[in-house]
Amino acid sequence: MLRRNKVTVVGAGNIGATCAHWIAAKELADVVLVDIIEGTPQGKSLDLMQAAPIDGFDVKLVGANSYEETKDSDIVIITAGLARKPGMSRDDLLKTNADIVGGVTDEIAKYSPDAFIIVVSNPLDAMAQLAFRRSGFPKNRVMGMAGVLDSARMRCFLAEALDVSVEDVTAFVLGGHGDTMVPLPRYSTCAGIPITELLPAEKIEEINKRTANGGAEIVGLLKTGSAYYAPSLGAVEMAASILKDKKRILPCAVYLEGEYGINNLFVGVPVKLGKNGVEQIIEISLTNEERAALQKSAGAVQELIDVLGI
């Protein structure tokens, strides 16, 4: 009998529940939604199950408060943790979310020792490194979702500025997820044309800044939460590339061992994602200025890793 793919989403808040929604709607996999709050994952899963006859997707959705149901998952997406509140930096979340993500990772390693882990919890790069260390999984099976989101934000703003379809815009963002991320206009295009040929430098700089502050802008508007539609879909795009062996080139937070001059650290770079997870880390040439910005971004991640002692 053909076995369907199985994806566990840890955390049934806005990002986790929306992740489950995207996965189900795309019929990517059966979904287990896990949360410590009794009733929440069960209720949201049941609601999604009842949406299936309307939209016509055939997947199984299960809500759970423990990890037995997650056994033998192909992919686990970790969204658990506290969300940012206005005025709160990603670093403020560090200790609390480290405890949460560490505990979750132990359960994943126990019940799904062959799974791929996609981390969405903030501060992203540090949480991915924590999951990598705690799980003991090889580096090709642990990754963080940030670059897909940051690039999508940049693409959105570029398409708006150019008054073109978002489908024709590609954007490249490297580095840690946060204020030190490194948008690369030279590698960003509209229908293959570099955006540096199409927009004035000051407009590009304005878009770069808005991209780096993309999450904070939404937190400021929502006041009681943070972004969830785009972050959840970013994680699902990564999962789809692995499950379907699509070999998409996507910017993801991965463990670097000398690439870009960065060692033993999770930082966002372009990678090929296929059935073996991170199948290739792609090194692109950077100007001195871009390389310095990437090193600065890596330094910000290293500070968090030092605080956690991992």
What's the rounded Cα separation, in Å, for the pair 124 and 178? 9
Q: Catalytic annotation on 177?
A: yes
Of 177, 199, 237, 273, the active-site residue reads: 177
What's the rounded Cα separation, in Å, for the pair 14 and 10? 11
Would you state the pLDDT for residue 191?
A: 98
Q: For 3-47, how does the pLDDT look when each residue is reduced to its tens digit (9 = 90+)?
A: 899 999 999 999 999 999 999 999 999 999 999 999 999 999 999
Q: Are 48 and 54 in contact (CB under 8 A)?
A: no
Kindly give the pairing relationship between strand 173-174 and strand 116-119.
Answer: unpaired
CATH 3.90.110.10, the chain: domain bounds: 147-308
143 has pLDDT over 90: yes
Q: Which two tokens stand for residue 273?
A: 């994602």
CATH 3.40.50.720, the chain: domain bounds: 6-144
Q: What does pTM read for this prediction?
A: 0.96
Q: For 169-198, how does the pLDDT look when each residue is reduced to its tens digit (9 = 90+)?
A: 999 899 998 889 999 999 999 999 999 999
290 has pLDDT over 90: yes
222 has pLDDT over 90: yes
CATH code assigned to 147-308: 3.90.110.10
The domain defined by 6-144 folds into: Rossmann fold (3.40.50)
